[in-house]
Structure 1
């Protein structure tokens, strides 16, 4: 059976690292390249984080491309320290001094256009951070989306519940214009793992403790980068996430990769038109769902609603049991 061709666009926080490891452990995926964007930290840290994950998993042959350092419009917003200032929990002291030489010289946007042109209708693009690279792609190559097999996004929200603003989700709020462009102009099959979907399909903290105690290099790596991160602290997150969803462990970006690996992980979706709000002090960056099609749009997306947690858990465990280097 042929492998599914995938490009991962990432801002490489801890959950991105877990999602990338999940993709590397999936025998049905072939990762054509990983493109980097600002988000959880600055784009240079993102590049280093991706290279580090690939090194741990002995997959350094996968090309890594540096992409957008700032949003499409306006100034860069302050980076969240949800995953530490470096995106990986501020615990990795042995940074590679030669990391720049290990990046591809080609810009991420050009690489995405080339890889998809070389494999028309065969590539699944999984977007785990702000959608700046994707917006830049379509400005350079308007035909790009029609050559994609599918687009899978972790981002946005479907109920106006925000995690960085009153009504907005992190990835979309960091670059609302790019999120707007992508959801208006990418007319390929599009699937969205929203913030609420991830949080509503959370796992127990007991499962998380078992997961990071996998006695493998990948397991030890995940245990290390989550060890001092308040975003992976049961005590720190109890009060914060209880407001909307109750306690539990959420590996946000892994939900999008899981849907790419096995579509049956998603057991229920809402198919409708959506639009990203660009105005307003409270709602800028919010994704509005339009099930009655008042917007009169011809393109609908699939917004994930419920998840097979048994299958999802198995993919998480497999991500840390793969053969890796130290």
Structure 2
């Protein structure tokens, strides 16, 4: 399999951490950079979280860039986000790197994104795991940017009007609806979307979660620690929004997007259609609308995943936390 060049744009929470470890474990993937954006936590916490995850994955040489700290318009959504704790990684880490700021590259994340894609035209896959602010700024700075990408994978949005931050909008899109609108209107490269419903409808069992986090490896112990006090990873917590809509189960949201990027065969079913993000509705702001009948009269369509092969997803997740011989010598070794 040919080498896959990745830029991961993240608001590093617990599921982002798992997704990044998934990418680090892929022998055919080379991460050119990790770019940070506000979302699950403050931008400072996001940057620190990424540094910590790369250390766990033994890939500290991968450059990390600081990006947007707030949405394109106004201030960050003031709805409390306690999904992954106040720091994004479950509020359990006590030994954070005191020199983390020195490890963040000085170049702004958006500039780094533009530069790396220009240096590798039509070769880079961009994986967006948080609010799409950095991507929207990139296309505004350089309208030709999307045309230089190989493809774009997004974790965000919804298909059925079921929301997890507002009654009708998914978290990443609701945190910056204008950015989501810009990206889905102006990025004409092949675009693949992992929606909230897709992840929830393909939830894995809590028995599998215990198997995943009880492996005797550093990465598995790390994931067990950061999920240990997080209500979102407790099978005992009842009537969470996703449980009400879809039933109980373990869902590592961002991992579904990275898994599809790394192994497209993990996706069992999808639909391809034009989409639009609602901006003006009092109740529907940030909601993704799928146009399956052509009313929007748009030329550009995106692929929206609907069903995955759960056994393949489980295999990939188990492998991402395994202690693989020669892990440090895989395709990510020359990321900088």
TM-score normalized by the length of structure 2: 0.95
CA distance in 2, matches of 1:244, 1:198: 12
1:242 CA displacement: 2.5
- Distance between the aligned counterparts of 1:263 and 1:119, measured in 2? 22
Report how many aligned residue pairs link the two structures: 325
Task: State how 1:72-151 maps to structure 2 within 5 Å.
Answer: 72-78=72-78, 79-151=80-152
Structure 1 outlier segments of 4+, above 6 Å: none
Secondary structure of the corresponding residue to residue 243 of structure 1: helix
Q: Deviations over 1:109-145 (max 9, x none)?
A: 0000000000000000000000000000001010000
The residue aligned with 2:204 is 203
Q: Measure, in 2, the Cα distance between the counterparts of 1:104 and 1:4.
A: 23
Work out whether residues 133 and 179 of structure 2, in 8 Å CA contact, stay in contact via their aligned partners in 1: yes
User: Is it true that 1:31 corresponds to 2:28 in the alignment?
Assistant: no
Following superposition of structure 1 onto structure 2, how do residues 217-296 of structure 1 map, counting pairs within 5 Å? 217-296=218-297
How far off its partner does 1:239 sit?
4.5
C-alpha distance in structure 2 between counterparts of 1:54 and 1:92, whole Å: 15
Aligned partners of 1:231 and 1:237 also within 8 Å: no
Instruction: Quote the offset at 1:35 in angstroms.
Output: 0.2
Q: CA offsets per residue over residues 214-263 of structure 1, 9 Å max, x none?
A: 11000000000000000101111555432110110000000000011011
Q: In 2, Cα distance between the equivalents of 1:139 and 1:318?
A: 38
Please name the residue that 1:13 is paired with: 13
Residues 205 and 238 of structure 1: CA distance in aligned 2, closer, same or farther (over 3 Å): farther
**Whole-Å separation in 2 of the counterparts to 1:240 and 1:174:** 18
Q: C-alpha deviations, 1:242-287, integer Å up to 9, x for none? A: 2110110000000000011011111111100000000122100000
Distance 2:231 2:12 in 1: 17
Contact 1:25–1:322, Cα closer than 8 Å, also in 2: no
* Runs of 5+ unmatched residues, structure 2: 329-336
Secondary structure at 1:267's aligned position in 2? strand
- C-alpha separation between the residues in 2 aligned to 1:88 and 1:138? 30
Root-mean-square deviation (CA), in Å?
1.1
In structure 1, what is the Cα distance between the partners aligned to 2:247 and 2:57? Answer: 33
Q: Would the aligned equivalents of 1:230 and 1:237 in 2 still touch at CA under 8 Å?
A: no
Q: Which residue of 2 aligns with 1:40?
A: 40
* Whole-angstrom CA distance in 1 between matches of 2:294 and 2:33: 36
Name the residue aligned to 1:178: 179
Question: Structure 1: which 5+ residue stretches go unaligned?
Answer: none
Q: Which residue of 2 aligns with 1:163?
A: 164
